[in-house]
Structure 1
Amino acid sequence: MDYLTIKALHMWCAGLSISLFSLRGGLQLAGIDWRRWRLLRIAPHVVDTLLLSAAIWLATLLQQIPFVHGWITAKVLALVAYILVGRLALKAGQPPRRAALAFGGALLCVAYIVCVAITHSASLGLF
């Protein structure tokens, strides 16, 4: 596969992953048990696996290495934060206020990741 195809796959998976997270988070905040739908339990894992695979493939093609290239490092660290905070947001039995705060924090993390991807700058081109 060529660079543009892999990049398109990565971007498509990123959009789908964010959409699925937003849907599950919205249902969680509305008090709807989204876990009863098999698709909402399985699809995010499949999409996120494709997303990460495409990201690794792109990084390899472009020779962009985390902890060597600042913007890739920022994306990786923000991804770890997004995963941890996102888990809190979607945890069953979570108090609504805590779930809402975690959901907002996770969305801020993913917004940062997208902005870093666009600007190729950990500081978002501000410095």
Structure 2
Amino acid sequence: MNSYIGLKHLHMTCVALSGSLFVLRFIWRLQASALLQKKWVRIAPHVIDTCLLVSAISLAFIAGINPLVQTWLAAKIIALVLYIVLGTFAIKRAKNTSGQIISFILACMVFTYIILVAISKQVLPFLPY
């Protein structure tokens, strides 16, 4: 049980770091900051997100949760893929500022959805049970 609690705290820390760094990188992108080119800024998101994914898989394994059975976990996985795609448009792929901003807002909405699903264990966390 101690390993589960430790992994859960690691996972939540990675969530906070991942979201915070995403927002910071987006701000730097809008400012055309040279900080985006720093080596640590290019590497840190991959390290954090890898820890996030490994801790998530480990938590599901320890808890015996199968995403094919627990629809809330499947919803989180699908939303995560959408968040990654939107994030790449917000930071790198969008051709103009309005595309970056729209992608960023949508990515933040999906990020919030993922957190709400994690807390509620419901596919539609914003609806009363």
Q: Same fold per TM (> 0.5)?
A: yes
Distance 2:69 2:29 in 1: 38
The root-mean-square deviation of aligned C-alpha atoms, in Å, is: 1.5
Q: Is the 8 A contact 1:28 1:34 kept in 2?
A: no
Give 1:35 deviation, angstroms.
2.8
Q: Counterpart in 2 of 1:89?
A: 90
Cα distance per residue 1:12-63 (max 9 Å; x no partner): 0110011111100111122324432111100010000000000000000111
Distance 2:115 2:80 in 1: 10
Secondary structure (helix, strand or coil) at the match of 1:35 reads helix
Distance 1:116 1:51 in 2: 16
Give 1:67 deviation, angstroms.
2.4
Q: How many residues align?
A: 127
Secondary structure (helix, strand or coil) at the match of 1:91 reads helix
Q: Which runs of 5+ in 2 are unaligned?
A: none
Distance 2:101 2:33 in 1: 14
The 1:32/1:94 distance shift into structure 2, 3 A limit, reads: farther
- Letter matched to residue 97 of structure 1: S
Distance 1:107 1:73 in 2: 19
